[in-house]
Amino acid sequence: MDLAELNTRLCDFCRAMYGDPAAEVSEVYEMPGHAGFSWGFTVTSGARRESWFLRLPPPNVQWRGTADVLRQAAVLKALDGTAVPHCPLRWSGDDLTWFGRPYFVVPMLEGDVLRTAPGDWASKLSRDEVRRMVEQAVIALAALHRVDYARAPYLGNPIPLEKDVKRWDRFLDKLAEPEKLKLVPEVRTRLLDRLPSEAPVGIFHGDFQASNLFYSFAHELVAVIDWELVGVGATLNDIGWFATFNDPPAWRHQGTIAPSPLMPSPEELIDMYEEASGRGFQDVDWFRALAAYKFSIITGFNLGLHRRGKRHDPLWEVVAGSTSSLIERARELLG
């Protein structure tokens, strides 16, 4: 869908939603990101002028999993009235009249995600300032894990740990540079042999890391964003993921996604999470290993999509420098 067609569709949609046949849409632009298809736009209706964010699934894919935008809409709605900062859902639905696919719309936020790479805005902050911001995020994460997942029945039943390991098998024959992932069978076996006997169950974000933490210009957490990987299952998935994204031995490339020295260490993050949760946790290293295992496979798969021209995203050529180190770190964490 090009911008001209989208502008027309948005105009029809907004006139209906606002109940104003004279409402006008302007400033339609594609949003940056590496998952989903999103646009920003502005609506003028009488004296009102409001900016919005539209998310649609990619074209020509089945509307399930990460492409099921109504899963994201369901969790945003479930978080209303909780202590988890999030974008309030304004409109969503599966009426194909408007965009030819399901959709959701939330208000445009003022601020930016936590960017700590050299030259980015947060790289100019002190480590103490960044730590205070991360503490806000970890408190929000603990609050998310306390939300009753029955508030979001659309998310389905909890994912068993064994299935959470095995569900990545479907990508293994579609990996670019499979030689970098030769440890996958061994790590998969170790993960299955060491399944935690107990793990708290609830809503997990699935991609809890700095680029999905949106702050105001006053450095206050405004929203946890980008819920494409949301699910119900072991909530320690999130702290394992956050720790892995800030674990230098897991990464060999520099730049995007690579850990920043400004960020707390994995051990600090885990301590923060346990304090925010009011309890200690066993088997966190298993979840760190699972996160590294998952992301090594995700990297190989997305690199393959990019190189085959299925989904252009040069980011994966850079991140591919850490494919081997991620799977090696997963094996190390498993002992």
Please report the DSSP string for 219-278 in residue order. S-EEEE---TT-EEEETHHHHHHHHHTT-GGG--S-STTS--TTSPPHHHHHHHHHHHHT
Residues 295 and 327: their CA atoms lie apart, in Å, by: 9
Q: Residue 73's Cα: distance from chain center in Å?
A: 14
Radius of gyration over every alpha carbon of the chain, rounded to an integer in angstroms = 20
Distance (Å) of CA 48 to CA 23, 111, 125? 10, 21, 36
The whole-angstrom separation of Cα 188 and Cα 191 is: 5
In angstroms, the Cα distances linking 211 to 184, 215, 223, 227 are 27, 10, 11, 12
CA 37/CA 57 separation, integer angstroms? 6
Q: Facing residues of 233 across strands?
A: 202
What integer pLDDT is reported at residue 101 of this predicted model?
95
Estimate the crossing angle of helix 184-193 against helix 284-307, to 10 degrees. Answer: 150
Q: For the chain, which residues make up each domain, given as ranges?
A: 3-107, 112-333
Q: What are the Cα distances from residue 110, in Å, to 81, 125, 208, 218, 220? A: 21, 19, 20, 10, 11
Q: Residue 36 has what pLDDT?
A: 54
What CATH number is given for 3-107 in this structure? 3.30.200.20
Angstrom distance (rounded) from CA 316 to CA 310: 13
Q: What is the pLDDT along the chain (335 residues), one digit of tens a residue?
A: 788 999 999 999 999 999 999 999 999 999 876 555 899 999 999 999 999 999 999 877 788 877 899 999 999 999 999 999 999 999 999 999 999 999 999 999 999 999 999 899 999 999 999 999 999 999 999 999 999 999 999 999 999 999 999 999 999 999 999 999 999 999 999 999 999 998 999 999 999 999 999 999 999 999 999 999 999 999 999 999 999 999 999 999 987 788 999 999 999 999 999 999 999 999 999 999 999 999 999 999 999 999 999 888 899 999 999 999 999 999 999 99
SS3 track for 56-111: ECCCCCCCCHHHCHHHHHHHHHHCCCCCCCCCCCCEEECCHHHHCCCEEEEECCCC
**Three-state secondary-structure class, residue 177:** coil
Supply the pTM of this predicted model.
Answer: 0.94
112-333 CATH: 3.90.1200.10
